[in-house]
C-alpha cells in the first residue's frame, strides 16, 4: 500500500482531467431559539480542561477534609491534656487533707 502511494499515485493523479465540484455548503437561517438551545448545549459539554479542573477541585476538597479531621483530633487531644492537668492540680490541692 505504501509503495502504491509513494510510486504510482502521483502519476495517476496527474493524468486525471475531471474533478468533482462539491459546491458550497448551504447556510440555512436557523431559528434563534434553536440557536440559543444549541449554544446552551455546547456550553454544558465539558472540555478536556474542565475534567482536569474537576480533578484538581476533588483533590483540594480531599486535602481540606483530611486537614479538618486532623485539626479536630489535635484540638480534642489538647482539651484532654488540659483536662488531665486540671484534674492533677485538683488532686494535688486535696492531697494534704
Residue 41 maps to a domain: no
Residues of the chain with pLDDT under 50: none
- CA torsion 56-62-63-68 (nearest 10°) is 150
**Do the domain assignments include residue 82?**
yes
pLDDT, position 35? 92
Given this model, what pLDDT does residue 95 score?
A: 79
Residue 60 lies in a domain: yes
Total domains present in the chain? 1
pLDDT reported for residue 17: 66
- 49 CB-side CA count, 13 A: 0
pLDDT score of 65: 94
Does residue 71 sit within a domain?
yes
What is the predicted pLDDT for the residue at 71?
97
Q: Is 81 domain-assigned?
A: yes
Instruction: Write down the pLDDT at residue 64.
Output: 95
Tell me the C-alpha distance between 15 and 9, whole Å: 10
Give the whole-angstrom CA distance, residue 82 versus residue 79. 5
26 domain-assigned: no
pLDDT at 19: 62
Does 14 reside within a domain?
A: no
**DSSP per-residue letters across 42-70:** HHHS--HHHHHHHHHHHHHHHHHHHHHHH
pLDDT for position 21? 62
pLDDT given at position 53: 82
Residue 89 structural domain = 56-97
Q: How many CA atoms lie within 13 A of 24 on its CB side?
A: 3
Residue 51's pLDDT is 75
Amino acid at each position: 500500500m505504501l509503495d502504491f502511494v509513494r510510486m504510482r499515485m502521483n502519476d495517476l493523479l496527474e493524468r486525471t482531467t475531471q474533478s468533482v465540484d462539491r459546491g458550497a455548503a448551504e447556510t440555512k437561517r436557523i431559528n434563534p431559539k434553536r440557536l440559543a438551545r444549541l449554544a446552551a448545549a455546547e456550553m454544558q459539554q465539558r472540555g478536556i480542561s474542565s475534567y482536569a479542573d474537576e480533578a484538581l477541585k476533588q483533590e483540594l476538597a480531599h486535602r481540606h477534609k483530611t486537614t479538618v479531621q486532623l485539626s479536630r483530633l489535635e484540638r480534642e487531644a489538647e482539651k484532654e491534656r488540659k483536662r488531665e492537668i486540671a484534674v492533677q492540680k485538683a488532686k494535688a490541692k486535696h492531697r494534704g487533707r
